[in-house]
Structures are given as C-alpha cells and as structure tokens.
Structure 1
Amino acid sequence: MSRAIAAAAVLAFALTACGSGDSGGGGQAAESRTLTYWMYQDRTPQAGEVVEKIRKDFEKANPGVTVKIVKIPKDDFNTKLGSAISSKTGPDVSTLDQPLVSKYAKDGTIVELPAGTVSEGTYFKGAYDTNLGTDGKYYGLPLDQTGVALFYNKKLVPTPPTTWDEMKAASEKVHAADPNVAGMVVPKGDGYGGWMFPGIVAGNGLEMADVASKKILFDQPQAVEALQLWVDLLKSSPRKITDSDQPFQNGLAGMMISGPWDVPTIREQFPELDFSVAPLPYKTEPAGNIGGENAVVYKTSPNQDLAWKWLTFITNETNNGPLADALGGFPVHTKATAVGSGPEHEAFLAQLKVAHARPAVPEWIQINDEIIAPAIESALLGKMTAQEALTDAANKTRSLLGWNS
C-alpha cells in the first residue's frame, strides 16, 4: 500500500511540474519559465542595445524568467509568422502590424486583453484603439506610433495654416506669386494617400466607419468635403509641378504632408531648405492618421500571463520612450518621455495625441488599396466628383463586407 501511495505522489508531482497545458501559463513554475517574443529586426545597433537592456531589466525583476527574443527582417515577418501560426510553432507573444490585429482577433489566433491589465488613459487613444477587434474588445497593446503632419517651406509659407481655409489660401498665394511653384504637394489616390485620408476626414468630425453598427460613413458630407479639399488644392498645385523629383525639397512646393522619417533626410540632403513641421490643418477638430506597431499574445501560448506582464513592462512609463525610438516611432504611453527634441518633433507629438485609428475591419487594407485609393484618384483626375467617387467606393465596401448601410 505504501508503495502505491508513493507512486501516486510521484505521479501527481510530475503532472503538476509539467502542467504546461494551462492556456494561462499558471501551471508552470515561475522560476523556470521561458517566454518567446518575436519582433522586427533591429533598425540600428543602438536600437538593439535598447531592447537588450529592457530584456535584462525584465528578467532581473522576474527571477528565473528567460525572455527569448527572435528578430526577423520586417519584409519577411508576416510570412514567417503566418507559417509558424499554421504549424502551431509560433511565439508566445509578438509584434504585429496594426491592421492585422482585427484579423487575428476575428479568427481566434490571439487572445483578448485581460480586464484590469492596464488602466484607462494609460495609452493615447488613437494608438490604443488600433488594438480593437470587430467585437469592440481589445486584443493587444501599442508599442509605438507614427503619423503624418504638415511640412512647410518657411520662405514661401511663413506661418503654417491651422484650418482648411487657411491652407487653401496659403497654397493659392504661393502659386499666384510664382506659377512655376505649387502651393502644396497634394496626396495621390494610392495606398499612401488612402492611409492619410481618414485623418483628414477625422479633421471634419467623421470616422470612416461605425464598426459596431456595421455602417460605412465615408460617403457622408464630411468625408466628401475632405476629398473636395484635395481636389480644390490641385488648382494651385498642378501635378506637372508636383510630379517632379522631390518638389518640396527642391523648393517647388510650399507645403507637403509627410512623416517624421523625412525630417532627417531633408536636413541632410537639402541643408539650404528652411522648413518646419506643424500639425495638420483641420475643419472642425484637430485630428490625424496613425501607423506603428502593436504587440499581441497568442492563444497557443502556455505563458499568457507572463506575456501580458512583458508587454506592460516594455510599454510602461519608463521603457516606452526608448523602445518607441528604437522602433522608429513615438511613445504610446501618455506619461512616457519621448527621445528627441525640436519643433518638428513637438509637432508630431501634438499630432499623434489626436490621431484616429483605422476601422477595426480585417479587410481594411484591401478596402484602402483597392477601393478608397482609386476613388480618391478618380476625383483628383476629374473623372468623377468627390461625392460620386466616395458613393461608389462606399457601395463597393458595403458589398465586400456584407453590410447594408
């Protein structure tokens, strides 16, 4: 009898020690846990040093825990991640491009952010909302954010416009003074212009869609006015000028909309250009678009609790500033200190505080590239009115999604 009891005790202990089947990871002893985190390959050696310091600090704060970081070139990341997920060999937690969060949430690949993990207001709303699923729940945390703002040539546009009317007036003044100079580099109807467009629409008080109610909204008057703004700007910003090589950088355009990645390039390659950056002009309220990376936890992970602990650590007030800079973006934590300074830096920080997330629709990239972008271009080329172009695009989107309104 004593041997049977002893055998049972040994078996019970063994089962307890290797109880990794618990989806929350609670069955594993904390002192021997390994967390696997996939992320993009480091942009620079200095960026790698930032990530390594954060990893060591986390391990120090959690004795016995090892964080295994796997770095993958960005261009290969989604393909390798998809293959790993299909073969059930994926990581516990990983970086994920913003538009993919709603897709992975819908198909059950990633898990919902547990209630109470973060406090309300921890992250900027636009960045936080990029983690929404179609069900209105959050499925990840933001790592960094970026967006676009208004670049202006201080010689041609001494005072940056803050409203749509001021922007049109500034553009007209520049072109009237010299017909060989465009007032502005107007975005085109391509994927990049389509990414910018929701931020312009939000500046007129409208979202592109109401996902909860399954309603497409970008054929409404506020969105039509936003597209008409770009159409009107073309009158003082002919493409025969703006289609030239780097027109803003070469002094052939007074303004352009672009991101922080252009600031150091212009400073280095066009040192004589006196320019600065300001938040996007708006009609009814300050707003803009958003890009960047999020991080999510996978359903197959046996370490989900530890994964969320890792994500809250790397995005906390202390770590998020250096991490976001290492990733090439701006902080998402409202109390984090951004790396960098200067008027251009401050303009992007102000812009991102009022950024709006894209609709949490898994098909949104397809909608952006194949439906909205061509609609924008049709209006800009004069093939359709702004209203006609967006009405047609909205109807195509409703058909694609199976929405009735």
Structure 2
Amino acid sequence: MTKDLTTTPLTRRGFTLASAAAAFTVAAPAVLRAQAVEIEYWQYFFKERVEAMDALIKQFEAANPGVKVKHTHFPYAQYRTKTAAAVPAGEGPTVMQLFFGWMREYAKAKLIQPLPGDVFKTADIDRDYFDVVKLMKTADGYWALPTAVRSLGMFYNKRLLKEAKLGETPAATLDEYVKYALATTKRDGSGNLTQAGATIGIPSQDYHWWREVLVRQHGGTPYSEDFRKVTYANEAGAAGIAWYTDLQRKHKVAEAGFLSESQAAFKAGRAAQHVDGSFRLGTFRTARGFDWGVAELPVHNGIKGNYSSYWVNGLAANATGAKKEAAVKFLAFITSDDAMQLWFDKTGELPAKKASALTPKNLSDPLSGPMLAGMNDAFTTDFVAEEAQGQLFQDMLDRILLQNQDPLAAVRQMAEAEQKMIDDHYRS
C-alpha cells in the first residue's frame, strides 16, 4: 500500500522535453551516432495514449537524429496475441507496453528482458516512483517501468444530480452512493432503464473496485501479503460483492450491459455515477456539453480505499546490440519527468514518479486532484495471469446476476479457481 506521498519541493523546470531528450543524446554510444538505427514501439490503441506517444517520439527523434522510432499499435483485443507471436519470431517491438499484471507471464515466456541496472538503478526507482511500481522488481532488478500510474475515482454527472435536487456535492459513502443512484434512476412506461443511477458490469474497473476496495471496506483482505493465498472467500468478500450486485438485483439502479459499456453510458449522459480509472479523464474531457466531476471513491465503515494499476514499458527479449542501446535510451526518455507530465496532460494518467505527480498544479486540479489523492489509499495486486483472473470475476458476476447464486457461494467458487491458478503458477 502507498502510505507516504510526501516529497521534497520540485526544482524549477529549466528544460523542455526537447532538451531532456538532448540530455540523453550526450551519453549516446558512438555506434548510435555513426549510423541511423530504427527501433519499434508497440502499444494497444487508445486515442489519447497514441497521440501522447506520437508527441514523445517527435521530441525524441528531433534531439536524436541517429534513432528512428516506428510507432505501431493494435486493437486491445489483438495486442497480446500479436506480441506473443512476433517477439519469439525475432520480429515486432524493440520496446513494448504491457499491463503490469502481465509482467510475470512475459518474463516467464521470455518476451522481455530485465532493464539494464546501470541505467535503471534499483535504488533510484525505489525512491522516486510510487510504491506500487515495486511489483516490477525481482532479484534481477526491474523488468519494466511505467510512464504513468492509474487510480480509481467516482465520476458523477453534475446535471443529473442537480435535476434530482441532490445539490453539487457527490456521494461520500456507499450508503449515499445508493441514495444518489435511487434518486437519479429513470425507467420508461414498460420498466426499461433509460437513465442509470450507477453503472455495473464488465468491461470496467469494477473487478478491482470489488477486490481491493469493497472487500477491505467490509472487513476483509483479498490476498495474503505475498499474494499466494486467496483470502476473500468469506463473509467480507460476500458482503462486498452483494453490495455491488444489489445495485442491479435489489435497488435496480443499474444494469450490466446498459448502453453496451458502463463508460459509454456515463459519457452519453445516461448514468449519474460511474467508478473508473484516471485514464478516462482524457476521454471524458472531449465530450461536448458534458458537465461532470470526479471524487474519491466512497467510504464505508470509515474505511477509505483505492486501487492502482499501470502499463509499463518493457525491453523485448530479442533486442541486442545497437537496437538495444537505442531502445534503452528511448525507454529512459519516455520515463523521464517531463515525458510523464506530457502524458498526464494528454491522457489524464498520473505521473509514475511522486515528485512529477504531486505538484501544486496537479493536486489542485478538480479532476486530477481526487485521483492523485486516491493514491494515498491505493493497493495493487500481484497477478500471475491477469486476464484469466479477471475472467473469474466476470464468471462470478454472471452466476449472481443471471443464475441468482448466493454471494457467499459465489466468492468461494471464484476463490477456489483463483487459488488453483496461483498454485499452478508457482509450481511450474
């Protein structure tokens, strides 16, 4: 858990991204200055993230004419498959983005290699980055580093709250969250949901909200400290998922699949409250005539909570020689302080270094401020197979919502399956 967000005051910025890139050029090996080297950067397609990386590449190439960076992106659904096929074949990226929860799988499959310790010093990373990033460290050092980290926030539609005479102050507790949802839900004459008071269902960040926040707020913990034992198969885990699924089952303020996706319903102005990640800030800002705000996640039993995740930049296992040297230099640049600020300005994702994130400007921003505050209460999860573990939540949700399975039986069934995944990973 991230407990300490205190930092020393920032020194005044005396250089731009371009000059930061030039600083990396000074130390460039002679081989990079002798001839042009092309490297390739891969990520999944998300409009604001692609635009941010294009801007960073432009800055980097301007200061490093000996290095050409090819930027390739794929739809999210294809991304892992493309990477898994390309790297072993000696093709594809030199530097790639991967979700932090995939790191162990990528390292085990020899898709990435440890970052060189002379450039990416363990002590410096431990000191400068938010604590959640330490999950990228093994006995071999750090395997990957993020430009940004994410936290969760409660997005709310100001217009819908005002129409329901709830004022401008968002819900602060889980009880208020339900109260606000009831007041803002609308149905047509046939009983069909036309305006949701809250959102529910996958795809969303609700899997993390339940596991790392709601379980804890109901008196439990999701895993042991070493993440090798599942510990939510009890009344606390059941109470957390019961509260969440009751938004649809009991209170009827939300429906899984309403307007296809939760974030789409909120962006369309058809949902009053929506829990999501800070990466949505950039997306929602582009919606015209949309009056919305962000607050920290609701408190319950006096317990605050949050979840932090991040995408990291890794060095392909097949990167060697001049390409590896160029890739290391580029990876160092896109994880510099100024690169993090540019990424934050364009995407809403929070700078991964504490000093870069916790500036007076960022903290006072009405949208990013609550997200940054949430990092103080954030937990993260050491996944062994993130997508498969996430699917277990989807399966549990289906059993409760569609088959009316008892919440306690549901969490026990999920826990048994997840425990087997974890055990199998460490046995192999």
Q: CA deviation at 1:278?
A: 0.6
Alignment partner of 1:167 out of 173, 177, 181: 177
> Cα deviation per residue 1:73-114 (whole Å; 9 max; x = unaligned)?
232544443233112345443222333212112233323343
1:366 equivalenced with 2:376 (yes/no): no
Q: CA deviation at 1:364?
A: 2.2
C-alpha spacing 1:269/1:293, structure 2 compared with 1 (3 Å): closer
Alignment partner of 2:251 out of 236, 259, 262: 236
Q: Report the secondary structure of 1:141's partner residue.
A: strand
Larger radius of gyration: 1
Paired position in structure 2 for 1:279:
296
**Conserved 8 A contact 1:219-1:391:** yes
Paired position in structure 2 for 1:95:
97
1:387 equivalenced with 2:408 (yes/no): yes
Q: Report the secondary structure of 2:388's partner residue.
A: helix
C-alpha spacing 1:202/1:359, structure 2 compared with 1 (3 Å): farther
C-alpha spacing 1:141/1:191, structure 2 compared with 1 (3 Å): same
**Conserved 8 A contact 2:280-2:348:** no
1:142 equivalenced with 2:162 (yes/no): no
> Cα deviation per residue 1:327-382 (whole Å; 9 max; x = unaligned)?
66332121225898841232233334544333231x2211212x221212323457
When structure 1 is superposed on structure 2, of 44-53 and 288-297 the one drifting more is 44-53
Q: Report the secondary structure of 1:388's partner residue.
A: helix
Distance 1:258 1:54 in 2: 32
Paired position in structure 2 for 1:63:
none
Distance 2:235 2:407 in 1: 10
1:188 equivalenced with 2:194 (yes/no): no
Per the normalisation by structure 2, the TM-score is 0.69
RMSD between aligned residues: 4.1
Q: CA deviation at 1:230?
A: 0.8
Q: CA deviation at 1:214?
A: 2.0
Paired position in structure 1 for 2:213:
200
1:36 equivalenced with 2:54 (yes/no): no
Paired position in structure 2 for 1:335:
355
Q: Letter of the 1:194 partner, please give it.
A: Y
1:108 equivalenced with 2:130 (yes/no): no
Figure out how many residues of one structure are paired with residues of the other and give that number.
367
Q: CA deviation at 1:69?
A: 1.5
Structure 2 alignment gaps of length 5 or more: 1-27
C-alpha spacing 1:160/1:69, structure 2 compared with 1 (3 Å): same
C-alpha spacing 1:123/1:27, structure 2 compared with 1 (3 Å): closer
Distance 1:266 1:313 in 2: 28
C-alpha spacing 1:327/1:39, structure 2 compared with 1 (3 Å): farther
Paired position in structure 1 for 2:311:
293
Q: CA deviation at 1:54?
A: 3.2
Q: Letter of the 1:358 partner, please give it.
A: T
Q: CA deviation at 1:321?
A: 1.1
Distance 2:286 2:316 in 1: 42
**Conserved 8 A contact 1:200-1:282:** no
Q: Identity of paired residues, percent?
A: 18
When structure 1 is superposed on structure 2, of 311-320 and 166-175 the one drifting more is 166-175
Paired position in structure 2 for 1:302:
320
Structure 1 alignment gaps of length 5 or more: 1-25, 61-65
Q: Letter of the 1:300 partner, please give it.
A: N
Distance 1:46 1:103 in 2: 27
Q: CA deviation at 1:265?
A: 6.1
Paired position in structure 2 for 1:70:
70
Alignment partner of 1:348 out of 371, 383, 390: 371
Alignment partner of 1:316 out of 333, 336, 339: 336
**Conserved 8 A contact 2:267-2:284:** yes
Distance 2:268 2:72 in 1: 36
Q: Report the secondary structure of 2:306's partner residue.
A: coil
Paired position in structure 2 for 1:86:
88
C-alpha spacing 1:29/1:70, structure 2 compared with 1 (3 Å): closer
Distance 2:57 2:299 in 1: 37
Distance 1:302 1:249 in 2: 44
1:51 equivalenced with 2:57 (yes/no): yes
Alignment partner of 1:225 out of 239, 262, 282: 239
Per the normalisation by structure 1, the TM-score is 0.73
Q: Report the secondary structure of 2:368's partner residue.
A: helix
C-alpha spacing 1:206/1:302, structure 2 compared with 1 (3 Å): farther
